[in-house]
């Protein structure tokens, strides 16, 4: 079990951790979603469906549906990826050190299913100064 924040009810709920085999993930995700969310890939800058998207709503994990980011926290970072100043709640994400590609970065993952979402950087807007730089393929938008 993992404690997850539900943005609709504004409450913390115990939820089952989602575990699936690669074969099971491939049945429910597109090839691009699988490559990015399950195999830690990335989409090219300015190509994702949400990089220049401005509707009001919630961005959920494409794999398990966990609420991740609100459109209220979205901002134009001019990087080519959807960027957010904060998650809907710290319970819904987890971070790990990523030493791939000869860099040290902070990877952002879904707390419920472990999907790779993107990375967080310390160059975002005040007050927190964070930029959660996410892959559109790891997210699914739900209008409010």
Annotate 90-119 with DSSP letters as a single string: GGGEEEEEE-GGG--EEEEEETTT--EEEE
**pTM of the predicted model as reported, rounded to 2 decimal places:** 0.96
- Candidates 61, 64, 110, 133; catalytic one: 133
Q: Is 133 a known active-site residue?
A: yes
Residue 73 sits in which domain range? 2-143
What distance in Å separates the CA atoms of residue 96 and residue 74, rounded to the nearest whole number? 22
| Residue-wise pLDDT tens digits, 5-62 | 999 999 999 999 999 999 999 999 999 999 999 999 999 999 999 999 999 999 999 9
State the total domains in the chain: 1
Can you tell me the mean pLDDT for 59-81? 97
CATH of residue 107's domain is 2.170.150.20
């Amino acid at each position: 079990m993992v404690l997850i924040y539900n943005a609709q009810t504004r409450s913390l709920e115990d939820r089952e951790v989602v575990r699936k085999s690669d074969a099971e993930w491939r049945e429910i995700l597109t090839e691009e979603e699988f490559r990015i969310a399950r195999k830690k890939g990335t989409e090219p800058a300015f190509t994702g469906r949400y990089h220049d998207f401005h509707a009001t709503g919630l961005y959920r994990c494409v794999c398990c549906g966990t609420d991740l980011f609100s459109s209220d926290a979205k901002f134009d970072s001019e990087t080519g990826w959807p960027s957010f100043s904060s998650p809907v709640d710290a319970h819904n994400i987890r971070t790990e050190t990523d030493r791939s590609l000869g860099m040290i970065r902070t990877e952002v993952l879904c707390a419920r299913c472990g999907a790779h979402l993107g990375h967080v950087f310390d160059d975002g807007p005040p007050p927190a100064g964070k930029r959660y730089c996410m892959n559109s393929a790891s997210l699914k938008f739900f209008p409010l």
